[in-house]
Structure 1
Amino acid sequence: MFLEAYIPPQIELAVEVDAPYIFDRKIADVTGDQVDDFIYLAGNKKSSDAIYQEDITIFVVDGVTSEVTEKTLDLNGGYGSTLFLGDFNQDDINDIYVSISSGGSGNIHYYYIYSFKDKKPVQLLDYNDLNDLYDWSISFTNNYGVIVKNNTINQTYKLDLSTKDKELLDKYYTPEGKVKENLRGDVLPLGGLYPIMTPRGQDAYSLVASQRIVGIATVDNLGIVEVYLTYQDGKFVPYQIVVGNETDFE
């Protein structure tokens, strides 16, 4: 078992009483007492070989008292849930970041960040907050152009699709590069939310959120929206938006 050399068996048993399947585990101080705690992401599955995870819950076992504090996440379930620990709210204590995949062709993910300072779970981020942050609209122009508009802040971005493969272009444009009728596009919900280090130190993090720009089908990749966020006044605040083709982010 991963980290079994460092985790006393009774610690793991205390979690498995309520959640028989452990999906991920970490060791670090998340309560703020300068003593490492045992952090688990655990829940249920239909069977031991099932990959869909349900009742996903954060468990924090205090490194001094072995007291268990838990927080069940507010979603039905998902795939491949993982933990990451870092200081996101700038209080010099590790917070708990959770990533869960929805599965499917949209490559959509669910994210949560919690502080467990003083063994009190406080939500710092819910993925829905970021999905609802901006209203986007997509329109197509002649000569292989796409207009990506952020209606919330009235900001417009332009994409050039001329280097895309012919099969994709033929869906949206005539051989002369004119836009076909009845086209639509969309900016999908979060496909990625990545911790990025800040100048405060190696354990201090901000976030970059990534959303795919797609056309008629979710497999038609037109571009990417990236939103950079930092924690300020009790919430994550965007400070930069970048819109471009996939090659711009390589």
Structure 2
Amino acid sequence: MKNFFIVPFVSMDELMRYQSRYKNIREAEDDEDLRAKVVDFKQGDVNGDGVKDNVFLIADRLPGEGILYRNITLLIQDGRTLKFTRVPLENNAGYNPTLFLGRFSEGKVNQILIVIDTGGSGGTIYSYVYSFLNNEVKKLFDSDKYIEEYKYGVTYRDNFKVDVLNKTLLYKFRLDIEYKGREYLSEIYDKNGKLKEPIEGFVRPLGGLYPIDFDRDGIYELYAVQGISGRYGADGLGYVETVLKWDGKRFKLVRQNVAIFGAEYR
């Protein structure tokens, strides 16, 4: 079977120019990379030389594993020199791997956002942001480290309340869970609204990470979403929603909210 690259979301002129350079890919990359499937592709200046670069996610998909991708790898081709840089990912297996190029910091250079669905029952993701300024790879965001940095507690209280505590920043949010309904509440509370026994919930790992330009200044922030669970994973109570902004050294938490589910109004 012939090796080929899928190149979506580019103009016909860009596609023709890229196809004319395809032989350089075959000469530059080893057989392992050529056998991999291109699962996403974007173009943009990521190294700061003013020339559009080609940014790929490549991966293996083995027979019998459906839409599961393994060995997901970031591959960057310098648009000026046509040289490749291969960036292995720490969490390199999952579903629906996607790329986004955008400015998360001052300047005209794009950074690279990668999001991969883990495929777990909690609907969680792996996510990374990379800088490639001056052809140097630098990881700016790692979902695993983010989860380690911010710790949470979820505690049921009397009178149909649940406290969600950001233990790292000492923020507390109080949820009213009366909307959960009589059947649910009767399992947890007595007729006077007192807890029958202590109950602890938990905040799940990242379930979504979205680039949003909240300030409309051309620079994206990260909008991170984590589910809040009660007695078990599927017992959803709401979401922790966090806005992160690059401050020159790290993505700093600038705003955090908790959202709850609605109920039918009667």
Give the TM-score, by structure 1 length. Answer: 0.89
Q: Give 1:212's match in structure 2, choosing from 204, 209, 227.
A: 227
Pair 1:23–1:173, CA change in 2 (3 A): farther
Q: Give 1:179's match in structure 2, choosing from 167, 192, 195.
A: 195
Q: Find the counterpart in structure 1 of residue 32 from structure 2.
A: 18
Cα shift at 1:87? 1.0
Is it true that 1:91 corresponds to 2:103 in the alignment?
Answer: no
What letter is aligned with 2:247? Q
Pair 1:175–1:83, CA change in 2 (3 A): farther
Q: Find the counterpart in structure 2 of residue 143 from structure 1.
A: 159
Structure 1 Cα separation of the partners of residues 177 and 107 of structure 2: 44
RMSD (CA atoms): 2.3
Q: Give unmatched runs, 5+ long, in structure 1.
A: none
Q: Find the counterpart in structure 2 of residue 133 from structure 1.
A: 149
Cα shift at 1:2? 3.9
Structure 2 Cα separation of the partners of residues 11 and 189 of structure 1: 40
Q: Find the counterpart in structure 2 of residue 235 from structure 1.
A: 250
Pair 1:33–1:167, CA change in 2 (3 A): farther
Q: Find the counterpart in structure 1 of residue 127 from structure 2.
A: 111
Q: Give 1:226's match in structure 2, choosing from 218, 224, 241.
A: 241
Is it true that 1:79 corresponds to 2:92 in the alignment?
Answer: no
Deviates more, 1:3-12 or 1:68-77: 3-12
Cα shift at 1:144? 1.3
Q: Find the counterpart in structure 1 of residue 174 from structure 2.
A: 158
1:12-51 matches, within 5 Å, as: 13=26, 17-19=31-33, 20-47=36-63, 50-51=66-67
SS state of the match for residue 25, structure 1? Answer: strand
SS state of the match for residue 149, structure 2? Answer: coil
Per-residue CA distance 1:167-191 (angstroms, 9 max, x = gap): 5434433455332325220011111
Cα shift at 1:49? 6.5
Cα shift at 1:166? 4.3
SS state of the match for residue 181, structure 1? Answer: coil
Q: Find the counterpart in structure 2 of residue 192 from structure 1.
A: 208
State the aligned residue count: 247
Indicate conservation of the 8 Å contact 1:168/1:220, yes or no: no
Pair 1:24–1:108, CA change in 2 (3 A): same
Structure 2 Cα separation of the partners of residues 171 and 25 of structure 1: 50
Decide which structure has greater strand share: 1
Structure with max Cα Rg: 2
SS state of the match for residue 23, structure 2? Answer: helix
Following TM superposition, where does structure 1 have runs of at least 4 consecutive aligned residues deviating by more than 4 angstroms? 11-16
Cα shift at 1:198? 4.5
Decide which structure has greater helix share: 2
